[in-house]
Structure 1
Amino acid sequence: MLFLVLGRGKTGRVIADVASEHGHGVQVLGEEENRNAMALTPPFLAGFDAVIDFTTPEAAVSNMRACLANGAPMVVGTTGWYDHLDDMRSLAARKGAGFLYGANFSIGVQTLYRLARELAVAVPHYHFEITETHHAGKKDAPSGTALSLRQAVQAANPSLNVSIESKREGDVAGIHVLEARSDYEVIELKHEAFSRRAFAEGAVRAAEWITGKTGVWNFSEIVGQLG
């Protein structure tokens, strides 16, 4: 397969490496080569089996409009753009594109979501709080992962009010802690990414999965199909 990776940031570079290790051809476009999605023309996109976007919220919206309008299969790991989600889902459906998005492509984080739902049911009267820590250059806060984690808790128990504390420090790949506290004890669920490969492996496997498919999915809906 031939994948187009949008974004020359740290995660984008790791994704390109992982895709190559999986035996795929890879081309990477940075922001300077693709301002306002100008490089994403129909003839150019036609040469790729899937597009993987790990850019910025602003760039991702332009990239999605260009790719989905041309029916290109797309995996989006960028966060901070979800106020445009309904428009992007509609565009993908109209154009028959394959569109897979997610706040976090780590298999471990997907497991964290499942455990969080179980915890919300098990101790419904505890106070729930999320603390998330990322590198200083991350623009959106709270992180998309933290918002999805809160959504998982509240979907399991709508009565819970879950606060989020965001920290931006150094080159932290990502730490998320869900705390459930009573007057007498505390329970913590923690996920810490030591390397961006945790996200890259999931993103590449998602691109392999979506190739040849049409439809719209959140990564959490299909992660169980990746084996």
Structure 2
Amino acid sequence: MHPGQNVINPVPPQVPVIMPAPYRPPNCPTGLEYLTQIDQLLIHQNVHIAEIVLNLETRNSYTVKNSVGQQVFAVAEENDCCTLMFCGPGRPFTLHLKDNLGQEVVTVTRPLRCSLCCFPCCLQELEVQSPPGCPIGYIIQECHVYLPKFIILNERREPQLRIQGPLMACSWWGDINFEVKSLDESVVVGQISKQWSGFIQEAFTDTDNFGISFPMDLDVKVKASLLGACFLIDFMFFEKQKGSNG
């Protein structure tokens, strides 16, 4: 190397900043201890080039972070190509949530439902399991004439909280807020917010950013169910049908 010659150092790959694992209290499912010290979650849907260039529906994946940007969970959808192609955003799915050690700690499943009507037999439902195979909560769409409404149930299917969305869940030019309320809907205890991602991303992709807020002392199983509700809301209201985008 000649004197004075510049040395170009290769750019190291970005390593995600992960949240240290806290103490796991008794009766807390393994992996949910991360939620004991959190009152906010940030959910970033990952961008897939095939969706932008080829206008194809791909399996969703997300990164879940705490309020200071540390990764809490990595989320990957399990699905087959035919379901992706023909069912679009109304598709059934299984989401696998892994902790920072790569261990699956939460599984979220959604059965196939008709998304064109609000009859009781067609309402959306989601099951949250932790550990995988052990249900800890359910999200059930409630029948309402014009508002998006959901109820959060515990593992015994007992009502815990309600979620109410706006009249028009349209993400153009601003955030869209779904309020988390007490069962009698008299108190707002949290929020699921679809965050504005900028014109280019909103117009040409269906990758979304969400924020969830809830009380710090809320049962971790209910916190995990609210995270599941966020994914259901994303698929129902903010995933674009590829075949209709032209």
TM-score normalized by structure 2?
A: 0.24
Which structure has greater helix proportion?
1
Greater RCO, 1 or 2 (C-alpha within 8 Å, sep 6+): 1
The structure with the larger Rg is 2
Task: Judging by fraction of residues, say which structure has more strand.
Answer: 2
**TM-score normalised by L of structure 1:** 0.26
